[in-house]
Chains A and B, each alone.
Chain A
Amino acid sequence: MFKKKSDEILHDHNNDGIDRRGFLKCMAWAGTGALCVMEGGILKSYSLSRLAEMSDPQMAGELSFVQISDSHMGFNKPANPDVAGTLKSAVEKINGLSQPPEFLLHTGDISHLSKPEEFDNVDQILKGASARDVFFVPGEHEVLNHDVKSYMERYGKNAKGAGWYSFDKKGVHFIALVNVMNLKAGGLGTLGHDQLEWIEDDVKHLKHSTPIVVFAHIPLWSVYPEWGWGTEDSAQALAYLKKFGSVTVLNGHIHQTMQKIEGNVTFHTAASTAFPQPQPGKADSPGPMKVPAEQLKSVLGITNVNYLQGHQALGVIDSTLA
């Protein structure tokens, strides 16, 4: 007799490979860490506590990398007086992963005040990671004084415009975007005309089967516009990616994990390595959230991403620093 597996899709109204129950299940684990893998159109989600039970082929992929975000080096307020210490914990976590990542992505707010010594400190700590290559995008804290010059001198040598670029790793195409420049009063994150044109050109010659990973600081989906958590012209960028079967969008900025799946696109935000921020609308403002010291590492984290060839979506695993 056929027995339904608890993680199989029961109702797929949008034909996007996910039902509401499956989505909520993924969301429920978002705070503690979850692995969501699309296999043959079926979303399978596993809590981190079950990872030990999973066989290697389920875990290991052709390509594994780690996203870290919002290290805010230089921040010293009560929400976390030791952001260097928690970044070091993130590096230890990375170095303890069973499949060593090939490289790191940093989705911005590297520094708190764009000071050279803050960048130096982050660079020094990240040198301790098993993965030596780090790909950056700027957060708004890298462009505090209205220009991106100092960021570009340090991190943007091979980048275009205000720091956007792309590269390929093991058949996956990575697109690094900048949505923290030229922000308008009352507005959201912005990519701008020049960058949008560049995206269109950058993906023009790629096969539709090429897995795409887009990373940028501010979410490219509308998480909570009231707090500026969204990008006003992201729909145009995503329109250029419609033809691809698998698009994974990785963002930071909101200092908490969140995931949303829309058709072929999986949106994901990473935790900060520095301090948490409140859930959308759950506080007067999105300022740093103070939690008891012993709980701090449980609300900070890293995101491990695995690409398994032949699978539609990349596996995204959040784990806390606790």
Chain B
Amino acid sequence: MIRKTVWILGLLSTAMVAVLLLSAASSYSSAKTPQPATAEVKVDNFSFGPATVTVAVGTTVTWTNRDDIPHTVVSTEKVFKSKVLDTDEKFSFTFDKAGTYPYFCSIHPKMTGSVVVN
């Protein structure tokens, strides 16, 4: 009788360890794959690439001008506005609120893009 109880306890503890291990594993995996905190947009050939970038709240998006011609990154709703970016210059903005942020190049307004923040 006593031996049987010990066995059951042993089984329970094994199960608990397993549960603990599983939960540890799951928290480990969620810590390993957070939403990326940064994203890149290339300004090239008079266009933004990708034209739409989807990121998590808190992400910093960096635009880099790869063209021979200067460009700007200007929020249509006046949320952010870069200085002029000459070749290889960068502009970054951190998105702290969810929403869709359309933007364009104020020098070449046919160039448009958007940042979707979830």
Contacts of A186 in B (CB 8 A): 104, 109-110, 112
A113 close to B81 (CB less than 8 A): no
Q: Quick one: which of B70, B81, B109, B110 contacts A112, CB cutoff 8 A?
A: B70
Beta-carbon contacts of A170-210 to B below 8 Å, as 1s and 0s? 00000000000001111110000000000000000000000
Question: Does B83 sit within 8 A of A, measured CB to CB?
Answer: yes
Question: Given the known A-B contacts A145-B84, A146-B81, A286-B46, are A187 and B70 also in contact in the complex, defined by CB atoms under 8 Å?
Answer: no
B76 close to A285 (CB less than 8 A): no
Question: Does A93 sit within 8 A of B, measured CB to CB?
Answer: no
Contacts of B112 in A (CB 8 A): 185-186
Whose C-beta in chain A lies nearest to the C-beta of B104?
A185
In whole angstroms, how far apart are the Cα atoms of A51 and B51 in the complex? 50
Secondary structure dominating the interface of B: loop
Question: Does A308 sit within 8 A of B, measured CB to CB?
Answer: no
B109 close to A287 (CB less than 8 A): no
In whole angstroms, how far apart are the Cα atoms of A112 and B117 in the complex? 34
Contacts of A145 in B (CB 8 A): 83-84
Question: What's the least CB distance linking B53 to chain A, in Å?
Answer: 16
Number of A-B contacts defined by CB within 8 Å: 61
B84 close to A227 (CB less than 8 A): no
B69 close to A144 (CB less than 8 A): no
Question: What's the least CB distance linking B67 to chain A, in Å?
Answer: 6
A185 close to B70 (CB less than 8 A): no
B76 close to A287 (CB less than 8 A): no
B104 close to A113 (CB less than 8 A): no
In whole angstroms, how far apart are the Cα atoms of A79 and B76 in the complex? 32
Question: Given the known A-B contacts A145-B84, A287-B45, are A113 and B109 also in contact in the complex, defined by CB atoms under 8 Å?
Answer: no
Question: What's the least CB distance linking A82 to chain B, in Å?
Answer: 15
Total chain B interface residues with beta-carbon distance under 8 A:
24
Beta-carbon contacts of B44-86 to A below 8 Å, as 1s and 0s? 0111000000000000000000011110101010000101101
In whole angstroms, how far apart are the Cα atoms of A285 and B102 in the complex? 21
Contacts of A187 in B (CB 8 A): 109-110
Question: Does B92 sit within 8 A of A, measured CB to CB?
Answer: no
Question: Does A100 sit within 8 A of B, measured CB to CB?
Answer: no
CB neighbors of B among A109-123 (8 A) = 112-114
20 additional A-B pairs beyond A185-B76, A228-B108, beta carbons within 8 Å, are: A75-B68, A79-B68, A113-B86, A114-B84, A140-B108, A144-B72, A144-B84, A144-B107, A146-B81, A184-B109, A186-B109, A187-B109, A188-B110, A226-B110, A228-B109, A228-B110, A284-B45, A285-B46, A285-B47, A288-B68
List 15 A-B residue pairs with CB atoms under 8 Å apart, sorted by A's residue number.
A77-B68, A78-B68, A114-B84, A141-B70, A141-B107, A144-B107, A146-B72, A183-B109, A185-B109, A227-B110, A285-B45, A285-B46, A287-B46, A287-B67, A288-B68
Binding site for B on A (CB under 8 A): 75, 77-79, 112-114, 140-141, 144-146, 183-188, 226-228, 284-288
Q: Which 4 A-B pairs have the closest CB atoms?
A: A185-B104, A285-B46, A144-B84, A285-B45
Binding site for A on B (CB under 8 A): 45-47, 67-70, 72, 74, 76, 81, 83-84, 86-87, 102-104, 106-110, 112
